[in-house]
Structure 1
Amino acid sequence: MSPEQGVVPQAGRLAATLAALRDRRVMALVLLGFSAGMPILLIFSSLSLWLREAGVERGAVTFFSWAALGYSFKFIWAPLVDQIPLPMLTRLLGRRRSWLLVAQIAVICAITLMAMNDPSQGSDTLVMMALAAVMLGFSSATQDIVIDAYRIEIAEVRMQGVLSAAYIAGYRVGMVVAGAGALYLAARFGSTADSYSYAAWQLTYLVMAATMLIGVVTTLVVSEPAVRARQHQGFGALDYSRLVLVFLVSAAAFVAAFFLAGHSFTAVKQGLGNDALINFLLETLHFGFAVASALAVGWLLVRLGAVDRRIARATWVEPALDFFQRYGLRTALLLLALVGLYRISDIVLGVISNVFYQDIGFTKPEIATAVKTFGVVVSIAGGFIGGLMATRFGVMRILMLGAVLSAVTNLLFIVLAHVGHQLPMLYVTVGADNLAGGLASAAFVAFLSSLTNVSFTAVQYALFSSLMTLLPKVLGGYSGSMVDGIGYPNFFLFTTLIGVPVLLLVWFAQRSLKVAETPPVKK
């Protein structure tokens, strides 16, 4: 369906916009967004501080960031979520709610398991905590897959802007609770950098696990989307079990290939002098080799009859083919380019923004208050403004507005770089940046939602959400080197200029979708 389809006539836009805020589904998405935002910081910042207070070496602390890889590669098992019914639960709760409940229970179990291990007690408990963190990353990413699919399926396109804003607002509140909230509780319960208390951190993580019950209750209360999955006749429990087995063996092949080849790639990097660009290219090749190994193993297993070829095709091939068939090759490639580049301006800048604030003299408390408190509130407000405007004026128009604001507000960082340590200018910059980012994010999530086919909601949206951060994060990794070479003002100008092609992509995408003789329709 075109992103502009489903927009109500002008006379009814205001009434529809106000009615959207009163819709029960909006509150449901706030609560589910909260449930989705909770786990990630329990793997990153909060866990990192716990490990450091427990005396774990910095190298081991950073190792735990691997636990969140599930977020980057969730599109690999998203097709299983779309295709495989869960025994008894699917019949009782429905396709989406059954998977959501299982994922949330797994999240609670993983957080509880982390709480049961004291990282200061040696390598054995540290390994158990690492396994629990991996379980948390995988189950949390699965929860994200299902919530994204659920949000798309419960409402028409015109509601997606408001629902996206509600989800983002809940997500950010969940991150604040799991980040600042967890640190506050740990300190309140008696753990500090000078006096580590396992009991304080254990109780903190148990409280976080209990807080996840908000998502569980929401899952049990909300209604299942009135959308049926594409049915594949003749597939039974054994077929689905074999499908899962093929996936697990392929995943094991990826892990084995990545780690077995690691020493060889490390030796090559050392032999070539550890140049940053060469290292990046070698790591890309390293990762590509592991992916190719997994694909080869999966393909071979299918060829050998380990799983029915029809179900393998329906699970991993048809979702991609469907997108190109609905939009045509030219428009599909244009849309994918837009998906991959839309967030590039703000993500590249965001990687180094906190370092920039410190470099020009702002203290950690000043940064925390401006960015983590004021900025989050403004971002939530921007999300709701963007969602309501998308509902009233159409997704593509607000997508263009978001792209313009995301690029232009980066110029304020140039002003801040010249004036230096001035709190009013910091708040103006942070406020404008977060308002633009919140508005753009809500419109963009609604846009991505409009591109999916409800027969393949989970896998197509997972692919889009992974693609949208791939290039920006890769480029963002070089932001420090760019600042060293050209300075902050020129770097901020660069982040503004790389947003210009996005404006052209939005314009071309809007034009292509409007002039299509037969607009793509969800099946």
Structure 2
Amino acid sequence: MSALLAVFGSRRMAATLLLGFASGLPLALTSGTLQAWMTVEGLDLKTIGFMTLVGQAYVFKFLWSPLLDRYPLPVAGRWLGRRRGWLAGFQLALAATLGAMALFDPKGSLGALAALAVAVAFLSASQDIVFDAWRTDALLPAERGAGAAVNVMGYRLAMLVSGGLALWLADVWLGFRGTYALMAALMLVGVIGTLMAPEPDGVAAAPPRSLAEAVVGPMRAFFGRPWAVAFLVLIVLYKLGDAFAGALSTSFLIRGVGFSAGEVGLVNKTFGLAATIVGALAGGALMARLGLWRSLFAFGVAQMVSNLAYWALAVLPKELTTMTVAVAIENLCGGMGTAAFVALLTALCERRFSATQYALLSALSAVGRVYVGPASGVMVEAMGWPSFYLSTLAIALPGLALLVVMRGPVRRLEFASPANT
């Protein structure tokens, strides 16, 4: 217990929590909350649909990640260091840009608001690059699981604040412009986290010697690792079954089972969020005892078997309690799997190139989440909801089988020196 408290109670964990919050805060403000603002202002659906494109920076952030690996931010970099200097710069810029969004409204100044939303997405994606790099550089191997769990908790809490809470504040108290001004002020939480965070030292403090090395070096270093291609395949497959199960979960609960949108929203925003946070924290705590490989395997099996909760919901009589239990089980196990998976991505990054490598690996990990939607719809139409959810167990098996084959390489990551990973 004392060892567990030492891991979760460290200064690095406190900084990770605040930085995770700052990382999650801007996302809804350029997506769901912004869509709600435009809807309330009476904009047409075609315009609202096109505004979803403002978040493309999150997909292509790996393109400018070598610049953040190679160069420190002038002035701030000399004071705070390469990682923390960029973090503080992006956080202050996000606070200013979100504050600027509060000066406009969608009906009268859509162009200006769209440009600012694009800027927020770019700055937010850039902050994510540096935060992921800092976490990779600064956390010790024994802290990777706890760090992943605390990061998930901070990120999810921020999404609740900038999503559900922001909508409530806009509706009953502040209006959307006042709410965006408040969200801008909340970005200063990230600055506090940056000031608390220790700047990585040693190998992590030395940037690539040139921009060419910052671009080519991460690829050369990663593919020089034994089992490099197998690790890439594992990243795609590990949460694939979970991605299929979650791709149409809202449509399943509303159309497949017959719950109202309000019931689904209430359960997902309360029990779902709480279960994800509890699962991530439990996963991080268990990883301190189990190690990386055993955690990946155990949590992978759990997130696969948890898909049976949705199968049961599809075949049992409609009950709100049944939905609550199913959503809680699915999110609990998914949160545990996410904690182990983020720890794997962190362990795979070489500290000198961590910004670029993590950006590339996280983009690859999103392949399943982004592209399973169309396939899920076709499968549901062909086989129905109960058989679809049973099939997601089979989809999860190749990732677990590959993990078994790669037990040795994954276990070697657990004991790698942080200066050499």
TM-score > 0.5, shorter chain as reference: yes
Contact 2:18–2:193 under 8 Å retained in 1: yes
Counterpart amino acid of residue 39 in structure 2: R
Aligned length: 417
Query: What's the offset of the Cα at 1:34?
Result: 0.7
Aligned-residue CA RMSD (Å): 1.8
Counterpart amino acid of residue 264 in structure 2: I
Rounded Cα–Cα distance in structure 2 between residues aligned with 1:407 and 1:154? 32
**Aligned positions of 1:196-215 closer than 5 A:** 200-215=175-190
From 409, 426, 448, give the equivalent of 2:323: 426
SS of residue paired to 1:413: helix
Q: Higher mean Cα deviation, 485-494 or 14-23? A: 14-23
From 401, 404, 407, give the equivalent of 2:304: 407
Query: What's the offset of the Cα at 1:208?
Result: 0.7
> 2:345 maps to which residue?
448
Query: Is 1:189 matched with 2:85?
Result: no
Rounded Cα–Cα distance in structure 1 between residues aligned with 2:208 and 2:340? 34
Query: What's the offset of the Cα at 1:513?
Result: 4.3
Query: Is 1:350 matched with 2:246?
Result: yes
Q: Deviations over 1:234-277 (max 9, x none)?
A: xxxxxxxxxxxxxxxxxxxxxxxxxxxxxxxxxxxxxxxxxxxx
Contact 2:69–2:207 under 8 Å retained in 1: no
Rounded Cα–Cα distance in structure 2 between residues aligned with 1:23 and 1:231? 26
**Aligned positions of 1:284-303 closer than 5 A:** none
Counterpart amino acid of residue 13 in structure 2: V
**Residues 231 and 81 of structure 1, relative CA distance in 2, 3 Å threshold:** closer
Rounded Cα–Cα distance in structure 1 between residues aligned with 2:196 and 2:307? 42
TM-score of the two chains, using structure 2 as the length reference: 0.95
> 1:105 maps to which residue?
92
**Residues 384 and 514 of structure 1, relative CA distance in 2, 3 Å threshold:** closer
Contact 1:352–1:480 under 8 Å retained in 2: yes
> 1:290 maps to which residue?
none
Query: What's the offset of the Cα at 1:519?
Result: 6.8
SS of residue paired to 2:139: coil
> 2:164 maps to which residue?
180
From 140, 145, 153, give the equivalent of 1:156: 140
Contact 1:341–1:472 under 8 Å retained in 2: no
**Aligned positions of 1:76-155 closer than 5 A:** 76-121=63-108, 125-155=109-139
Rounded Cα–Cα distance in structure 2 between residues aligned with 1:144 and 1:33? 9
Contact 1:117–1:128 under 8 Å retained in 2: yes
Query: What's the offset of the Cα at 1:511?
Result: 2.7
Q: Deviations over 1:475-506 (max 9, x none)?
A: 22332232122211111112121000011111
Contact 2:208–2:214 under 8 Å retained in 1: no
From 297, 308, 313, give the equivalent of 2:212: 313
Query: What's the offset of the Cα at 1:515?
Result: 7.9
Counterpart amino acid of residue 182 in structure 2: V
> 1:4 maps to which residue?
none
Structure 1: runs of 5 or more not aligned: 1-13, 191-199, 234-310
Structure 2: runs of 5 or more not aligned: none
Query: What's the offset of the Cα at 1:18?
Result: 3.0
Query: Is 1:457 matched with 2:380?
Result: no
From 255, 264, 274, give the equivalent of 1:367: 264
Rounded Cα–Cα distance in structure 1 between residues aligned with 2:416 and 2:193? 35
> 2:151 maps to which residue?
167
Rounded Cα–Cα distance in structure 1 between residues aligned with 2:33 and 2:4? 38
> 2:292 maps to which residue?
395
Rounded Cα–Cα distance in structure 2 between residues aligned with 1:347 and 1:150? 27
Query: What's the offset of the Cα at 1:146?
Result: 0.9
Rounded Cα–Cα distance in structure 2 between residues aligned with 1:142 and 1:385? 29
Contact 2:149–2:281 under 8 Å retained in 1: yes
Contact 1:64–1:133 under 8 Å retained in 2: no
Contact 1:414–1:489 under 8 Å retained in 2: yes
Q: Deviations over 1:370-419 (max 9, x none)?
A: 11111111110110110111111101111111111111111121110111
Contact 1:71–1:138 under 8 Å retained in 2: yes
Contact 1:351–1:477 under 8 Å retained in 2: no
Contact 2:145–2:285 under 8 Å retained in 1: yes
Rounded Cα–Cα distance in structure 2 between residues aligned with 1:420 and 1:352? 20
**Aligned positions of 1:52-91 closer than 5 A:** 52-91=39-78
> 1:47 maps to which residue?
34
**Residues 89 and 481 of structure 1, relative CA distance in 2, 3 Å threshold:** same
Rounded Cα–Cα distance in structure 1 between residues aligned with 2:242 and 2:412? 30
**Residues 503 and 119 of structure 1, relative CA distance in 2, 3 Å threshold:** same
Rounded Cα–Cα distance in structure 2 between residues aligned with 1:448 and 1:232? 21
Rounded Cα–Cα distance in structure 1 between residues aligned with 2:388 and 2:191? 44
From 263, 270, 274, give the equivalent of 1:377: 274
TM-score of the two chains, using structure 1 as the length reference: 0.77
SS of residue paired to 1:73: helix
Q: Deviations over 1:53-75 (max 9, x none)?
A: 11111111121211111111111
Query: What's the offset of the Cα at 1:179?
Result: 0.3
Query: Is 1:21 matched with 2:8?
Result: yes
Q: Between the two proteins, what is the percent identity of the paired residues?
A: 36
**Residues 373 and 510 of structure 1, relative CA distance in 2, 3 Å threshold:** same
**Residues 484 and 230 of structure 1, relative CA distance in 2, 3 Å threshold:** same
Rounded Cα–Cα distance in structure 2 between residues aligned with 1:230 and 1:79? 14
Rounded Cα–Cα distance in structure 2 between residues aligned with 1:15 and 1:503? 32
Rounded Cα–Cα distance in structure 2 between residues aligned with 1:507 and 1:207? 48
Rounded Cα–Cα distance in structure 2 between residues aligned with 1:515 and 1:352? 37
Query: What's the offset of the Cα at 1:440?
Result: 0.5
Rounded Cα–Cα distance in structure 2 between residues aligned with 1:471 and 1:444? 14
Query: What's the offset of the Cα at 1:117?
Result: 1.4
Query: What's the offset of the Cα at 1:16?
Result: 2.3
Counterpart amino acid of residue 163 in structure 1: G
SS of residue paired to 2:167: helix
Query: What's the offset of the Cα at 1:364?
Result: 2.1
Rounded Cα–Cα distance in structure 1 between residues aligned with 2:260 and 2:253? 8
Query: What's the offset of the Cα at 1:470?
Result: 1.1
**Residues 75 and 416 of structure 1, relative CA distance in 2, 3 Å threshold:** same
Rounded Cα–Cα distance in structure 2 between residues aligned with 1:44 and 1:456? 30
